[in-house]
């Protein structure tokens, strides 16, 4: 069932993104008076096709739904003589400004779709984890900033306390810190701790470009907290069972430190292989108990190191906050989120080229299908947010100055606009081959990363 969900979600996602991208090209081409011969969704043998009586455009849905194209009338590609009446409607006879507009319309359509989807999510309202900090690991950046756990972050400022931005949820905090982390500087987090509002200066300089992935918050020692950590199950014969831990127990503290984050608890247990760990728990109707468990020493398959393990499954229930915005604010936030993600994507791609970031950040269709299915199971808002994210990635990718992509064609036309001369066919052919090799290499790396994630090698 999960596989079917992933396939359906993937096909829907790719279908929507391709239609929007290609319709951007199509609509501006028609507006500029260019004759469109074919609008195809997918590649290969057509499954469904029909011809518009009004425009003469052939609309096609093909069997391989991993892209699409818009074929316009162009003398350079014509296999037969073009009627004289159609020549003014050929793409190659349009001004350089019109050609730039037509080519740029596809990526722009993807960005506009992302803005609309984010705005819809913001306006409809979503429940997100509250920006409450769990007790951070010792010596982490969060601990050095002064966080002890339980503080609710309300705003982010620069190192001087200027440019203050309010924080509404944990995901909102993550995006703001991600943007700031690229500058490798410091930020000031204002947070409530029950006794008032205090400033916590957070140092982001320890983060390297390759660290800016899904786990960068954990590297800072920041985990969503404020909730309850419950034992969901105990393995027979495990250290947890020998200590007397039971399903339904609620963890309050470990070795005297408050704990409300599963990752914080697991990290503490891993560091104490063969050493006693004291747990403060609540059982039944809030009955307080103290238990001592000795984590069993076990080899970590990923790192090869010896770590502690108690054999208990945990379930975290973090507090959530309903986040809803007005129509105008939703559009503004949608545009800001789209811009932030696009800039982040470009920066990350640049760092991969210079070797500052790992090529493991590239993902292919398998990973996209996996996340499409996961987001679809989480609900409509999660799926729309995922769709917006991939739409931005598609727009950014197509704007890269690589021949065979929209960005490569834009580069040709910009050169023509500046020099007054079109790039020669010979140079276009050479660059086309180089661009194709580049795309094949990127696709191969992305597919390898997909397989590596799938079979864990």
Catalytic (active-site) positions: 22
**Cβ-proximal residues to 114 (8 Å cutoff; 6+ apart), any chain:** 334, 337, 338, 341, 388, 389, 391, 392, 395
> How many other β-carbons are positioned within 10 Å of the β-carbon of residue 439?
17
Question: Cα–Cα distance between 40 and 235 in angstroms, integer?
Answer: 55
Q: Which two tokens stand for residue 321?
A: 């906050």
Across-strand partners of 291? 279
Nearest to 417 by CA among 23, 155, 94: 94
Question: Cα–Cα distance between 82 and 382 in angstroms, integer?
Answer: 49
> How many other β-carbons are positioned within 10 Å of the β-carbon of residue 230?
18
The answer to whether 135 and 227 are in contact (CB under 8 A) is no
Q: Which two tokens stand for residue 59?
A: 């609309």
The answer to whether 281 and 259 are in contact (CB under 8 A) is no
Nearest to 129 by CA among 300, 294, 262, 275: 262
Q: Which two tokens stand for residue 244?
A: 């007397």
Question: Cα–Cα distance between 164 and 264 in angstroms, integer?
Answer: 29
Question: Cα–Cα distance between 239 and 243 in angstroms, integer?
Answer: 6
């Amino acid at each position: 069932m999960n596989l079917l969900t992933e396939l359906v979600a993937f096909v829907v996602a790719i279908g929507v993104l391709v239609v929007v991208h290609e319709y951007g090209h199509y609509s501006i081409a028609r507006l500029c008076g260019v004759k469109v011969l074919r609008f195809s969704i997918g590649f290969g043998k057509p499954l469904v096709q029909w011809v518009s009586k009004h425009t003469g455009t052939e609309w096609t849905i093909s069997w391989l739904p991993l892209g699409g194209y818009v074929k316009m009338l162009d003398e350079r590609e014509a296999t037969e003589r073009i009627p004289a009446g159609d020549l003014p409607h050929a793409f190659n006879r349009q001004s350089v400004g019109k050609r730039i507009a037509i080519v740029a319309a596809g990526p722009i359509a993807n960005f506009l779709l992302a803005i609309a989807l984010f705005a819809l999510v913001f306006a409809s309202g979503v429940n997100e984890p509250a920006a409450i900090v769990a007790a951070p690991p010792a010596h982490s950046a969060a601990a050095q900033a002064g966080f002890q756990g339980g503080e609710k972050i309300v705003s982010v400022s620069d190192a001087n306390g200027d440019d203050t931005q309010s924080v509404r949820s944990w995901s909102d905090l993550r995006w703001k810190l991600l943007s700031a982390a690229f500058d490798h500087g410091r930020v000031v987090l204002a947070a409530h701790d029950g006794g008032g509002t205090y400033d916590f200066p957070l140092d982001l300089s320890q983060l390297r470009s390759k660290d800016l992935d899904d786990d960068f918050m954990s590297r800072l020692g920041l985990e969503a907290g404020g909730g309850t950590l419950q034992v969901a199950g105990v393995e027979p014969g495990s250290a947890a069972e020998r200590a007397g831990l039971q399903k339904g127990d609620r963890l309050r503290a470990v070795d005297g430190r408050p704990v409300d984050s599963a990752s914080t608890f697991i990290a503490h247990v891993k560091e104490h292989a063969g050493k006693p760990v004291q747990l403060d728990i609540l059982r039944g109707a809030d009955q307080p108990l103290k238990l001592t468990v000795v984590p069993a020493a076990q080899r970590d398959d990923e790192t090869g190191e010896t770590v502690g393990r108690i054999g208990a499954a945990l379930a975290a229930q973090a507090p959530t906050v309903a986040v809803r915005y007005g129509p105008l604010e939703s559009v503004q936030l949608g545009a800001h989120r789209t811009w932030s993600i696009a800039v982040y994507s470009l920066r990350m791609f640049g760092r991969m080229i210079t070797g500052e970031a790992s090529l493991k950040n590239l993902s292919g269709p398998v990973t996209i299908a996996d996340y499409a299915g996961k987001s679809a199971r989480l609900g409509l808002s999660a799926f729309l947010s995922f769709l917006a994210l991939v739409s931005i990635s598609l727009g950014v990718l197509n704007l890269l100055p690589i021949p065979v992509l929209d960005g490569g064609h834009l580069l040709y036309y910009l050169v023509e606009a500046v020099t007054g001369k079109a790039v020669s066919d010979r140079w276009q052919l050479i660059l086309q081959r180089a661009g194709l090799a580049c795309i094949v290499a990127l696709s191969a790396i992305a597919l390898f990363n997909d397989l590596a994630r799938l079979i864990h090698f």
